[in-house]
Amino acid sequence: MYKPNNMILQTTTSLIAFILLGFAVYLLLAGHNSPGGGFVGGLMTSGAILLLYMAYGIETVKKMLPVNYTMLIPIGLLLAVGTGIGSFIFNVPFLSHTFGYFTFPVFGEVELATAMLFDFGVYFTVVGVMMTIILTIADDQ
Amino acid sequence: MPMLNIAIMIPFIAAAIIPFLYKKLSIHIGWIAFSVSMALFAYLLSFIPAVSYGETFLHTISWIPSYGIHFTAYLDGLSLILGLLITGVGSLVIFYSVFYLSSKESLGRFYTYLMLFMGAMLGVVMSDNMMVLYVFWELTSISSFLLIAFWYQRKGSRDGAKKSMLITVTGGIAMLIGFIMIYVMAGTWSIREVISIAGSFTEHNLFIPAMLLLLLGAFTKSAQFPFHIWLPDAMEAPTPVSAYLHSATMVKAGIYLVARFTPVYGGEGIWFWAVTGVGLFTLFWGAFHAVRQIDLKALLAYSTVSQLGMIMSMFGIGSAALYFDYSKESVIYTQATFAALFHLINHSTFKGLLFMVVGIVDHEVGTRDIRRLGGLITLMPVTFSIAMIGSFSMAGIPPFNGFLSKEMFFTAALTIGDAGFFSLDAWGALIPILAWVASIFTFVYSAIIVFKTFLGPYQEEKLERPAKEPPAGMLIAPGILAVLVVGIFFFPNVLGEYLINPAMSGVYPTLATTADIGVHVSRWHGFNMELWMTVGIIVLGTVLYLTKKYWSIVYTLFPAKWSFNTLYRFMLDQMEGRSTIVTNFYMNGYLRNYLVYIYSFFILAIGGTLIYTGAYKFEISGNAPITSFEWILVFVMICAVVSILFAKSRLTAIVLNSILGYGVAAFFVLFRAPDLALTQTVVETVTTVLFLVAYYFLPEWRKEDAPRKSRNINFIISILVGVVFTVVALAVQNGNLFDSISSYFENSYELAGGKNIVNSILGDFRAFDTMLEVIVLLIAGIGVFTFIKLKAKKEDESIEDQ
């Protein structure tokens, strides 16, 4: 995948990767009210990271993003299941979600929903799984 | 206190304890089993006075009350006779086996099995609930299996055990089905209740099938023709086991069952002919084949078969008494049942004795082959005396108990021969003739046992050990039985009054209340037909014995391979062979073939249902119009699909496949599903990348060299699957049975605070599905990770082999 001295790719990547990451985060956050969500956001994030890998090679990206993607899987799962279990504290059935509107200094009135936390869980799991699969296969040369 | 139930359980408890005691105890473990058995015998003896006055005992412990299955112990005359035989002969056999088996054998195992068997057998004869009876019935089969294969190092033992297991369990399951049918007809599991309403369901469709299945169970257990073949092979068991199981107890279980169900089925023509006919033929067949045996135990096995046939036929004759309801005429036929019960006891005494004698001979000289035996009379006089008493009793010679029961058997056979119902006027005359001929053979083989073994020249060079009397302990048990054999002849009415007459009222519960069916046995009944028949037996039997070598050519008339053993082996071989062929035919290891089965089944099941229910009609007039965009997309996708089939390289196929994926995404856009379109696009990209990664490792694309025929089959099946799917998809539109529930989700902003309905459903309304899908992803990730990271290196041992 990685070819040295591929300057055009590397330069454009440094720009595109951030746009992609930004779009991914947008998809994740906007999911509740517009098309998007944790799943596609996670996929998009993995796409952005993969692009980095293709442009800069495994060693470089490992230094840039010292993240153990496999660890993201349990973290995401814990979040997703945790939001479900959290509903027990309020004596409601498993995975009961709620939402409310809060006013913040900068953003004004913002809607916050516990379904968002669940989506975060999905997001981290997807990123973790996708990166684990692809990096494991790529490592196995 | 349900003492009877506890009495049944005691042998099981003993069986559980014996293995522990065996290691600890210094005395012979057989004494423990002996004391248990003796205690039970004494306990059952204590019931004789009450039972002889017609009392019965009933104790119930609830087991599965919701299904009406109770552990009900019921003791009447019939159960008591068998219970006494089981415990009495059991005690003697255990006593004998203490001396017979050397202490090198694994005695703990032996007595555990024996105790299991004793408990199971007591359970069979004392259970009132048919289900519980069946449980104990199978336990006797299993414990008998274990005992036959006691010397499991020998191939013969294993084969014999397997054979007896297969045959008796087959019959047992048939019996279970019969029981269930009776339950359906009578509405109760209790045999007493079934008997009390007997006659009310004779018109039921299941009446005859239940009867035949029941008889199948009884015949297999009691080694009736043609299921007798397991019994001679079961002689591989230690001799005490043969004496106990295969002469005195287990083979009587089938007879007990017939006797028990006589009140239900007696009086039916089919029952009469099945029991009497099979019994008589077994009597003849067993006697005829016993004569040719050269192994003493095989001879005794065939003689057991023959004697069981005799008892069975007497029960058959006795069942005719129920043909006439409540009439004095029927009393005469009940005497056959008396004779059957009488001979049941007699047979247990003399056959147990004979097995023990054979065991002694085997134990002392190391062979049971009658060609090598002879002249033991002077060396083993006591054994000889005992053997003579047993054999002569079996042959039906006075002054032994076999004589009395045989005379009564002839009386019964002659009486039934003159009866005018069940089309007996046509065939009835055969019954006494067959009985008489069989008795001649019985005489011959009884003579062989005594004379070939104990008379003639003594051939020490053919024996493994020089003959001498066995230790006294081994002679005590057969000695007691010999005393009984003679004692019953001189005091038959003691037995008759206290045991058999009460048992008669168990077989004829209604008759016993209206008429006196008790029988007084007379040792001397004058010069009548029966006596002349016995005289004829002795004369003809002697002649046949002396001329045996001249007429034994008869046995070579039928080739040896024309036996039921050959049939059994042939069936077993064929079943194994054929099932292997069948299994190998369709389980050929090719995934392609399995897919063909699955899809064929799908076509047949779904397509067949569609045609059968007429659901293939559909109406498309109400559908939305198709736009030009959709036409174009469909056309592109069809092109891609068809091209995949003709793709020459794998890369082409992958790319064409991704065209399909993006086409689907475009459809999602057209059908206004932005979330799906987004996800589909990204997922399609990722899978295409993964395909390409995998492509890197795959071997060269080869043209599939499947034969033309299977390719055609594949083509037809794929077309049919497509058609079925399409028809289903079109047909379901017709069945708009209820309104969609999607209007509920349209309130997602109020309910879940989200304007994106899809996301609200995924993350809130139906978040549980999403959670599990995330877990699916986790598993997939872990799967890929472990496949690649943890695979065994070339030098490593294969993990799968560990």
| DSSP output for B211-248 | HHHHHHHHHHHTT-TTGGGHHHHGGGS-HHHHHIIIII
How far is residue B129's CA from residue A71's CA, in Å, rounded to a whole number?
63
Both tokens of B44, joined, read 């059952």
Nearest CA-CA distance, residue A54 and chain B, Å:
12
pLDDT at B624: 82
B536-576: pLDDT as tens digits: 888 888 888 888 777 777 777 766 666 788 888 888 899 99
Instruction: Give, in order, the Cα–Cα distances in Å from B233 to each of B157, B241, B247.
Output: 8, 13, 14
Q: B63 phi and psi, to 5 degrees? A: -115, -65
Instruction: Give, in order, the Cα–Cα distances in Å from B177 to each of A20, B182, B268, B556.
Output: 72, 9, 20, 40
Helix/strand/coil for B456? coil
Helix/strand/coil for B799? helix
Q: Are B214 and B137 in contact (CB under 8 A)?
A: no
Distance in angstroms between the alpha carbons of the first and the last residue of chain B: 56
pLDDT at B688: 87
Residues of B in contact with A109 (CB under 8 A): none
Both tokens of B29, joined, read 């473990």
pLDDT at B559: 62
State the pTM of this model.
0.78
Residues B94, B100, B104, B109, Cα dihedral to 10°: -30
Is residue B136 pLDDT above 70, yes or no? yes
Both tokens of B47, joined, read 């019931």
B372-410: pLDDT as tens digits: 887 888 888 888 889 999 999 988 887 888 888 888 888
Q: B157 phi and psi, to 5 degrees? A: -65, -45
Q: Is A44 on the interface with B (CB under 8 A)?
A: yes
Rg (CA), chain A: 18
Residues of A in contact with B676 (CB under 8 A): none
Nearest CA-CA distance, residue B733 and chain A, Å:
29
Which residue from B minimizes the CA distance to A31? Answer: B759
Output the DSSP codes for B263-285.
HHHTT-HHHHHHHHHHHHHHHHH
pLDDT band (50, 70, 90) for residue B528: confident
pLDDT at B802: 44
Nearest CA-CA distance, residue A72 and chain B, Å:
10
pLDDT at B271: 87
Which residue from B minimizes the CA distance to A80? Answer: B771
The amino acid at residue B523 is R
How far is residue A21's CA from residue A50's CA, in Å, rounded to a whole number?
11
Q: Are A36 and B682 in contact (CB under 8 A)?
A: no
Q: Which residue from B597, B569, B306, B622 is spatially nearest to B446, judged by alpha carbons?
A: B306
How far is residue A58's CA from residue A53's CA, in Å, rounded to a whole number?
6
pLDDT band (50, 70, 90) for residue B106: confident
How far is residue B433's CA from residue B318's CA, in Å, rounded to a whole number?
18
Report the 10 Å Cβ neighbour count for B262. 27
Is residue B584 pLDDT above 60, yes or no? yes
pLDDT at B586: 86
Rg (CA), chain B: 38
Residues above pLDDT 90, as percent of chain B? 21
The amino acid at residue B35 is S
Which residues 9-28 of A have a C-beta within 8 angstroms of B?
27
Is residue A94 pLDDT above 50, yes or no? yes
User: 3-class secondary structure for B30-69?
Assistant: HHHHHHHHHHHHHHHHCCHHHHHCCCCEEEEEEEEHHHCE
Nearest CA-CA distance, residue B120 and chain A, Å:
53
Report the 10 Å Cβ neighbour count for B418. 12
Task: Determine the residue among A72, A109, A111, A129 to mutate to test chain B binding: the one whose Cβ has the most chain B Cβ atoms within 10 Å.
Answer: A129
pLDDT at B793: 61
- B207-221 and B130-148 helices cross at what angle (nearest 10)? 30
pLDDT at B326: 54
Nearest CA-CA distance, residue A88 and chain B, Å:
15
Count CB pairs under 8 A between chains A and B.
134
Residues of A in contact with B752 (CB under 8 A): 97, 99, 113, 115
B182-200: pLDDT as tens digits: 999 888 899 888 888 877 8
- Say whether B678 and A36 touch across the interface (CB within 8 A): yes
Q: Is A111 on the interface with B (CB under 8 A)?
A: yes
Q: Are B767 and A96 in contact (CB under 8 A)?
A: no
Provide the β-strand partners of residue B64: B69
Instruction: Give, in order, the Cα–Cα distances in Å from B438 to each of B208, B252, B276, B390, B582.
Output: 30, 20, 14, 18, 45
Task: Determine the residue among A44, A137, A139 to mutate to test chain B binding: the one whose Cβ has the most chain B Cβ atoms within 10 Å.
Answer: A137
What ipTM does this complex have? 0.89
Which residues 80-109 of A have a C-beta within 8 angstroms of B?
80-81, 84, 94-95, 97, 99-100
Is residue A31 pLDDT above 50, yes or no? yes
pLDDT at B333: 79
* Cα–Cα–Cα angle for A77, A81, A85, rounded to 5 degrees: 155
B766-795: pLDDT as tens digits: 888 988 988 898 898 888 888 888 765 655
* Cα–Cα–Cα angle for B230, B162, B87, rounded to 5 degrees: 65
Nearest CA-CA distance, residue A137 and chain B, Å:
7
Helices (H) and strands (E) in chain A, counts: 5, 2
Mean model confidence pLDDT for chain B = 85
- Tokens 């304007």, located at residue: B755
Q: Is A45 on the interface with B (CB under 8 A)?
A: no
Q: Are B174 and B126 in contact (CB under 8 A)?
A: no
B448-476: pLDDT as tens digits: 888 888 888 887 777 777 777 788 888 88
Q: Which residue from B439, B414, B441, B407 is spatially nearest to B428, judged by alpha carbons?
A: B414
Helix/strand/coil for B467? coil
